[in-house]
Amino acid sequence: MAHSEDEFKEVVSVEPPIHDKHDDIFSDPTSATEEKTTTGQNLFTTQKLFQTGSKPASFLDRASITSKLPHPSILSSRLSNTKSIASSNRASFLPILEALGSDADNSYRDSQLKRAQHENVKRKQSVLSEMREKQSIVVDNIKVQRVDFKHPKEPYLLAVVLVVSGLASGYENAAFSEVKKMMTSQFELGELWTKALSESFNICAAMGSLLAGFSTDTVGRKICVIFSSLQFIIGGYIMGTASGPVAVLIGRFFYGFGTGIASAVVPAYIAECSPSGIRGFLVTFFQLSITTGVFLAHVVSVSVFDYGETEWRWLISLPAFFGIAQLVFLTAFPDSPRYKVMMNDSLAADLILKDLRQIPDTSRELSEIERSVSVNRPVHGCKVIKEIAVTPHVRKAVLTGCLLVVLQQFCGINAVIFWISHTLRNAGFNLGNVNFGLLSAACNMLATVPAFWMVERNGRKPTLVMSYVCMCLALLMISTSFSLSEYDSVATSPSFETVDVKKLGFCTNYTTCYNCVRDISCGFCSINVDGEAVEGSCVPAESKDFASVGRCMDNSTFKSKYEIIFKFSLCPSQYSILSVMAIFVFLLAYGPGAGPMTLLLCSEMTPQWARGFSVGLTSTLNWVLHGVVLYIFDRMGEDQPGMVFLGFACVCFVAATLTAIFVHETRGISLEDTELLFMPRKLRKLIVMRRQVEVEKLVEAKTKKRRMI
């Protein structure tokens, strides 16, 4: 049976070997030259035989032709390794195929071609695997991938798109604190409405994080992020068009809900799509986006304050545009490959991994993910809580993540950032709120940048421990500055006032400026002489700018003779600069350590089936404690600021100690192996050996399936 030229083209083009920069490993110039010579001679002999024969090619003796040719298996092997020879001699093979035209020989030839092709690809993959193995080391029976930033651009682009949620979250939270005064004056809000608008964000963020923890393993990471973007869009529209406090409150609900979902899903989403060597680098982008959003809010608010009270609508609705941008660009990226494996869609997971890694074969990584999912079948809803409770090493990992969040919140970061101007006033440093807020936001953003280098070079654990140590020292400096300011405080005396002492009331009981301004009913009145406060007295306060009696009244005649100064909540002190230095040291220490490392470790420590709920739980705890810490500092900060910051310093010391003891280093370890860190060492060794056998079986099964196809 004769074969046409089109059939021949189909045969010789069956799965050609993949050619890339590693092909030089498999090429042998000497053997290639010998094969070229031998094959060329055989082809020339066969062609000459056909040209000189008196019979048509289809009637020639098969034995006389095949005796001049190499064995079909040898010929197919040579064709696979030397594509150029096959392409240049296509016409010469036509009479050969016509002579060998039986169905049996054709089937045998195709099988040999496929087998040779498979062996060639397998050999190439083996060498590539050996090259990857040289980039990894084994520490305590766990493979650790070395840092290598020469990865395809796809994981980086995906991380940039996902962290837009963090940009919107940080921006909205900081922008609202800037426009709250504008909003209060326009809508005439009382104290109850102001507190409701402030606290609603944290409550809804906690609810969103908890919901994301239960739903992310059901609907997928990508769907959750899309839902978060929609929350920002809806919230921005409602806030921008709000006609009263009720609409503002509803807009805050949507903003908080979207922020909670993003904080629970995005870190895990990035971690599951990133190679082990740069996973920490990419997850740190989320923390940087939050600090960048805070900085951007302060920058925009400076310009908005110059226009008028109605311009706050543009400032507060800007996160809606962030949500639109993320919604558009996210459609070009896939879901997490590990989520696809959990949904029994290994084919889609394989395609996603190949797209993210930009390599032809991802069977080993996919096999490790499939093995992890097959050993621990996915559980959803409330069942995952029961599974975590009865699994010792997973329970330990989840509790470690919760401990890290508690330590992060009680280290004092929120108290320093959101009450920084008030803290400096109590320490005796007078500076505008907006300008100093912008400066502190810029410092916090720039302090996060070194985390990109430290997370993969120094590791998570050493960076976190060093961060807490430096934060502890900075908080001790802040506490010391309050003590020194109290010791150096200007003395007060009612004798400097021209009114009856009885009119001064109980304010006369305070003998220093520091004690006077701690009482919200009193203020410090003095005369400024060459930059120094003299003849100070503690008088009843009518407002933050004037006293109700005495020299510092609004219509006092003393103002025409002397430079009268009234201080409601600050006292002049020569130790003010110490507070400023300590606060910036604290921000510089928090930026690369306690901020991004806590977020990263919480998204790495648990196995695939528990990661969604675990990250959602830690995020929920983070938002709940966020409000608790602010409430505590609001109640105690004015009365005992020095003692409060001393307590934060003690927490940082305890945090450094507990981190050094209980937290494990996850740098370079695959997400499928991080749970091994929380197992006993003997059990870990046995499980690693069993995993290796299971992965080899999965790879072998896929190889057989590929051969059959």
pLDDT tens, position by position, 682-699: 777 777 777 667 667 766
pLDDT at 614 over 90: yes
- pLDDT tens for 327-384 read 999 999 999 999 999 888 889 999 999 888 888 878 888 888 887 777 666 666 678 8
Q: How far is CA 455 from CA 149, 203, 332, in A?
A: 13, 31, 28
10 Å Cβ neighbour count for 406? 17
The residue-averaged pLDDT of 413-427 equals: 66
- pLDDT tens for 347-357 read 999 999 988 88
Q: What is the pTM of this model?
A: 0.73
pLDDT at 234 over 90: yes
What type of residue is 642? G
How far, in Å, CA of 26 to CA of 125, rounded? 11
Say if CB 175 and CB 228 are below 8 A apart: no
Say if CB 78 and CB 39 are below 8 A apart: yes
CA count, 13 A, side-chain hemisphere, 143: 18
What type of residue is 351? L
Tell me, what's the pLDDT at 143? 52
Nearest Cα residue to 282 out of 467, 440, 137, 147: 147
List, in sequence order, every beta strand (DSSP E) within 323-366: none
10 Å Cβ neighbour count for 183? 21
How far, in Å, CA of 469 to CA of 506, rounded? 43
The residue-averaged pLDDT of 548-562 equals: 76
Q: Which long-range contacts (CB under 8 A, 24 or more apart) does 382-388 make?
A: 382/214, 384/214, 384/217, 384/609, 384/610, 384/613, 385/613, 387/609, 387/610, 388/610, 388/613, 388/614
Nearest Cα residue to 147 out of 281, 286, 269: 281
Tell me, what's the pLDDT at 375? 65
- pLDDT tens for 125-157 read 555 455 444 444 444 445 555 545 566 888 999
Tokens in use for 485? 């300011």
DSSP string, 355-379: HHH--S--HHHHHHHHHHHHHS---
Longest dimension (CA), the chain: 139
> What's the whole-number average pLDDT of the chain?
76
Question: Band of the pLDDT at 671, cuts 50, 70, 90?
Answer: confident
pLDDT at 42 over 60: no
Q: What are residue 526's DSSP bridge partners?
A: 565
How far, in Å, CA of 469 to CA of 449, rounded? 19
Tell me, what's the pLDDT at 386? 87
Question: Band of the pLDDT at 38, cuts 50, 70, 90?
Answer: very low
Tell me, what's the pLDDT at 652? 95
Q: What are residue 541's DSSP bridge partners?
A: 547
In terms of pLDDT, which residue wins out, 421 or 678?
Answer: 678
Tokens in use for 288? 């940087």
Residue 138: alpha-carbon gap to chain centroid? 26
pLDDT at 674 over 50: yes
The residue-averaged pLDDT of 642-649 equals: 86
Tokens in use for 246? 């009720």
List, in order, residues 6 or more apart from 516 with CB less than 8 Å away. 492, 507, 510, 522, 523, 524, 538, 571
In terms of pLDDT, which residue wins out, 47 or 355?
Answer: 355
Place of tokens 């060998």: 100
Helices and strands counted in the chain (H then E): 31, 5
